Structure 1
Amino acid sequence: MPLPATAPIASPPQAAFGDTIEILPKIFHDDTNLAVMRRQLDADLAASVAAQLAVDRRLDWRWRGGVGEALAEDLLNHLPRPSQAKPLVEDITLICEAMAYLFDTQTIGVRLQRLEGAMCPRFHVDNLAVRLVSTYAGAGSEWLPEPAVERAGLGAPRPGKPDPLRDAQSIRRLGCGDIALLKGEGWVGNEGRGLVHRSPQPAPGEPRLLLALDPG
């Protein structure tokens, strides 16, 4: 008598790292929920970032629309020191163009924020399909490899609910300047497997500058 067919057991999602942009399409692999292009900011870009943060002013720029001159002009108009912003604007525009090309979309949601505290301090997953994050200043986003995750602990805390973090020694952190694609729960076929991550707590007097992009 033949045995009943069983569904294949999905392997734990993996992370992919590289030093060139060719690593980012790895996010389309079924077994990959994090793709990271490692990079360090060059001197001109780092100086441009530092100039914007030297002004003690709130920065929370948001854009949803096409990628082009309008995006660059709007960003420039919202930065504290536009005369020193060219390298930063060019870098963000280039990343937006790459995101639009990779996901074949005409619309990008963009957010550039100065953060004095942890925006999402609890480990969580995103309900969207995918998000690109890059930290221009301060500590990079923290994430967990699958063996360190207790998924029953995700979501709003309540009495008796376990901690989503199984092992504090397993916390990983993206580097400043890294460009990372984080696959969420909204990616078709990735339900229950979205990357678990959180915002780090900035050091006192050292704000973060975070870029986040959503395609479509």
Structure 2
Amino acid sequence: MTAALATPLAEHVHWAIDREVSVLPRIFDPEITLAVMQRTLSPEVVGGARAQREARFPLSFSWRGNPEGEALGDDLRKALHAPETSAALIEDVVTLAQAMAYLFETEEVGVRLRRLDEAMCPRFHCDRLPVRLVSTYLGPGSEWLPDDAVNRAGLGAPSASKPDILRVPEALDTLSAGDVALMKGTGWVGSEDRALVHRSPGVSPGEMRLVLTIDPV
């Protein structure tokens, strides 16, 4: 993830990127639509993520509840392939879910952990909710655009009459595996018309992604 850190495109920078966890509350700044904590995953977490490749069927875990109890960890252990190898991965998911609940002062979060063998949302879009946490454990991370590179008239359902969404191809930026990103959606008051534009990356044959999303409820 390098392009947006140096790009001169955006007249008003609307992202905050750092290696410290203190960057995540920057999502509450009115001008910020993307807050990213860059991090390197431990070998134990990566090992747990890689174990999901061995499962016969792709992992598609969905959960909603209070992450402060033991239910989330217990349900992950039941759902994940090779749970004995995935302890660090499970702990990481629970920690991020608890952090999301704390940051947004909610007792419930929605958690999804999926193994993807193709792009889940290949078209540029904005999420129709206030905010979402996105983190990729394996494979390429989500792609996103600075505001100045977006033609928002092209968003929504595709049609021949709509212009291309991407105005400046070289402005495309990509999150790295391990990054914890908070993305504002159209449901965030004040960001209805300027929510972050992003998409799922393409997945090459034989490649896979393991992606976590968390929504405050």
Fold equivalence (TM over 0.5):
yes
Name stretches of at least 5 consecutive residues in structure 2 with no aligned partner.
1-10
TM-score, L = length of structure 2: 0.92
Q: Deviations over 1:174-212 (max 9, x none)?
A: 000000000011001111000000000112111100000
| Contact 1:13 1:33 (8 Å CA) reproduced | no
Task: Report the equivalent of 1:90.
Answer: 91
- Amino acid corresponding to residue 153 of structure 2 in structure 1: A
The aligned residue for residue 139 of structure 1 is 140
Greater Rg, structure 1 or structure 2? Answer: 1
Alignment of 1:44-83 (within 5 A): 44-67=44-67, 68-83=69-84
How many angstroms does 1:12 deviate by? 4.6
Paired with 2:93 and 2:59, the residues of 1 have a C-alpha distance of 15
- More displaced 10-residue stretch of structure 1: 129-138 or 154-163: 154-163
Aligned-pair identity (%): 51
Residues 93-125 of structure 1: CA distance to partner in whole angstroms, max 9, x if unpaired? 000010000000000000000000011101011
Mapped contact 1:34–1:180 kept (Cα < 8 A): yes
SS at match of 1:82: coil
Give the alignment of 1:8-157 within 5 angstroms. 12=12, 14-67=14-67, 68-157=69-158
Contact conserved, 1:24 with 1:181, CA < 8 A, in 2? yes
Partner letter of residue 200 of structure 1? P
Q: 1:197 is paired with a residue of what secondary structure?
A: strand
Name stretches of at least 5 consecutive residues in structure 1 with no aligned partner: 1-10
Report the AA paired with residue 180 of structure 1: A
For the residues of structure 2 that align with 1:81 and 1:52, how far apart are their CA atoms? Answer: 8
Whole-angstrom CA distance in 2 between matches of 1:111 and 1:213: 6
Alignment of structure 1 residues 149-168 onto 2, 5 Å: 149-168=150-169
What's the TM-score, normalizing by structure 1?
0.93
Residue 55 of structure 1 and its aligned partner are, at CA, apart by 2.6
Q: State how far apart, in whole Å, the 2-side matches of 1:158 and 1:57 are.
A: 34
Counting matched residue pairs gives: 206
Pairwise CA distance, 1:13 = 5.8
Conservation of the 8 A alpha-carbon contact between 1:13 and 1:193:
no
SS of 2:148's equivalent? helix
Higher mean C-alpha displacement, 54-63 vs 165-174: 54-63
